[in-house]
Amino acid sequence: MQKSKIITVAPSFAEDAKASPSAAICATQLSFEYAAGTARSVKALDRIDLTIFKGEFVSILGPSGCGKSTLLYIIGGFIPYTSGTLDVCGKPVKGPGPDRGIVFQQFALFPWKTVLQNVLYGLEQRRMPRAERLERAHHFIRLVQLDGFESHFPAQLSGGMRQRAALARTLAVDPDILLMDEPFGALDAQTRSILQNQLLDIWRDTKKTIVFVTHDVREAVYLSQRVVLMSKRPGRIKEIIDTDLPDKGDLTGGVEFNKSVDYIWNNVRNEYGGANE
Ligand SMILES: Nc1ncnc2c1ncn2[C@@H]1O[C@H](COP(=O)(O)OP(=O)(O)OP(=O)(O)O)[C@@H](O)[C@H]1O
Ligand SMILES: [Mg+2]
């Protein structure tokens, strides 16, 4: 089988990229341990070198427990990193910021707020006239095709609608970087496919940088320009594969698309099959 184009991850590449104004996220030798120094410590990430450029769509694939969510939450500034460096747009990450929006693995809407109130919530932190906030919230509700459901509570929505509401809430704040943690994992195949295409449209229109965690190889290749493969815990970067292919058409894809899916499957099989260290 012909191999997809592989970019070898080398610290020198990360160092060069760090200085590049086009780097959105640059991690060098980033390691992380939960409950460090205690008997319950868990080493989640091990010397991650990763650069993601502005406007890129990058997926992260790896076995359960390998540290994908941890990496995303560290980039989001929700977990302070303790070892290595992490820059977002050239500045070290010191905590969460409006430049980074996160869509969580589980639906994370306030159950006591309506769709509109949930979307408005993020905007309330921003100093903006009420009329402008409302206009913005409605715009993003329309963008994810939830118009007509502004007054519904999350419990009155389907899973796909809830995830779209969460996406609208994140997009409304207009972050440069969207961090998405298995956002479509709990959805049926049809809803998932619709949302994948909506997300691609939003990405093309807004030119945001997207980091997308998934367990679905086909989804990763379809959506992203590069796929980052992580090893089982403690998560290391095993390989980065260029998936900016011309023949993606749809999820069934063409020859190059399917070659890439097969190549990644063959590479992750061992990681998925093995037990955690
Ligand atoms: N709050 C925490 N305290 C201690 N250990 C944690 C905590 N959160 C995660 N871990 C551990 O860190 C490792 C990485 O977890 P993480 O949630 O990042 O994995 P993941 O790759 O996102 O997995 P999944 O695909 O199942 O979502 C796991 O072994 C997990 O047990
Ligand atoms: Mg996770």
Query: Which residue from 31, 34, 38, 60 has its CB within 8 A of the most atoms of ligand 1, so it is best to mutate?
Result: 34
Whether the predicted pLDDT of 1 surpasses 80 = no
Q: Strands 23-34 and 42-53, how do they pair?
A: antiparallel
Q: Are residues 88 and 44 in the same domain?
A: yes
Helices (H), ranges, the chain: 11-19, 68-76, 115-124, 130-143, 159-172, 189-206, 217-223, 255-273
Whether the predicted pLDDT of 51 surpasses 50 = yes
Report the range out of 57-61, 79-83, 140-144, 164-168 with the highest average pLDDT. 57-61
Q: Are residues 185 and 167 in the same domain?
A: no
Q: Are residues 132 and 260 in the same domain?
A: no
* Cα–Cα distance for residue pair 210/233, rounded to 1 Å: 23
Q: Are residues 184 and 160 in the same domain?
A: no
Q: Are residues 119 and 240 in the same domain?
A: no
Question: Is 200 within a domain?
Answer: no
Question: Is 196 within a domain?
Answer: no
**How many percent of the chain have pLDDT more than 70?**
91
The answer to whether 237 and 197 have CB atoms below 8 angstroms apart is no
By the 10 Å C-beta count (0-12 exposed, 13-18 middle, 19+ buried), 78 is classed as middle
Question: Is 119 within a domain?
Answer: yes
Q: Does residue 64 line the site of ligand 1, with CB under 6 A?
A: yes
pLDDT, tens digit (0-9, with 9 covering 90-100), for 173-184: 889 999 999 988
Question: How many CB atoms are located within 10 Å of the residue 6 CB?
Answer: 12
Q: Are residues 84 and 166 in the same domain?
A: no
For position 10, what pLDDT does the model report?
A: 41
Give residue for tokens 């899916």: 261
**How many percent of the chain have pLDDT more than 90?**
60
Q: Are residues 183 and 277 in the same domain?
A: yes
pLDDT, tens digit (0-9, with 9 covering 90-100), for 190-234: 888 888 998 999 899 889 999 999 999 999 999 999 999 999 888
Supply the range of the domain harboring residue 125: 106-174
User: pLDDT band at 124, cuts 50/70/90?
Assistant: confident
Q: Are residues 160 and 62 in the same domain?
A: no
Q: Are residues 137 and 247 in the same domain?
A: no
User: Any idea what the CATH number is for the domain that residue 243 is in?
Assistant: 3.40.50.300
* Cα–Cα distance for residue pair 97/175, rounded to 1 Å: 9
Question: Is 6 within a domain?
Answer: yes
Q: Does residue 44 line the site of ligand 1, with CB under 6 A?
A: yes
- Which tokens in the block code for residue 196? 């994948």
Give the range among 25-39, 108-122, 247-261 with minimum mean pLDDT: 247-261
For position 111, what pLDDT does the model report?
A: 93
Question: Is 201 within a domain?
Answer: no
Q: Are residues 3 and 115 in the same domain?
A: no
Q: Are residues 32 and 142 in the same domain?
A: no
Distance (angstroms) between ligand 2 centre and the Cα of 128 equals 34
- Which tokens in the block code for residue 169? 């809430």
* Cα–Cα distance for residue pair 20/242, rounded to 1 Å: 20
Q: Which of 84, 16, 130 is nearest to 237 (CA)?
A: 84
Maximum Cα–Cα distance across the chain = 58
For position 160, what pLDDT does the model report?
A: 82
DSSP assigned state of 67:
S
Smallest-distance ligand from the CA of 68? 1
Q: Does residue 79 line the site of ligand 1, with CB under 6 A?
A: no
Give residue for tokens 């809430």: 169
Structurally, the chain folds into a number of domains equal to 2
pLDDT, tens digit (0-9, with 9 covering 90-100), for 67-101: 999 999 999 999 999 899 999 999 999 999 989 99
Give residue for tokens 């980074």: 100
Question: Is 12 within a domain?
Answer: yes
Whether the predicted pLDDT of 274 surpasses 80 = no
Q: Are residues 79 and 1 in the same domain?
A: yes
Question: Is 31 within a domain?
Answer: yes
Question: Is 275 within a domain?
Answer: yes
Distance (angstroms) between ligand 2 centre and the Cα of 129 equals 37
Query: Which residue from 38, 70, 73 has its CB within 8 A of the most atoms of ligand 1, so it is best to mutate?
Result: 70
For position 18, what pLDDT does the model report?
A: 52
Report the range out of 39-48, 186-195, 267-276 with the highest average pLDDT. 39-48
User: pLDDT band at 17, cuts 50/70/90?
Assistant: low
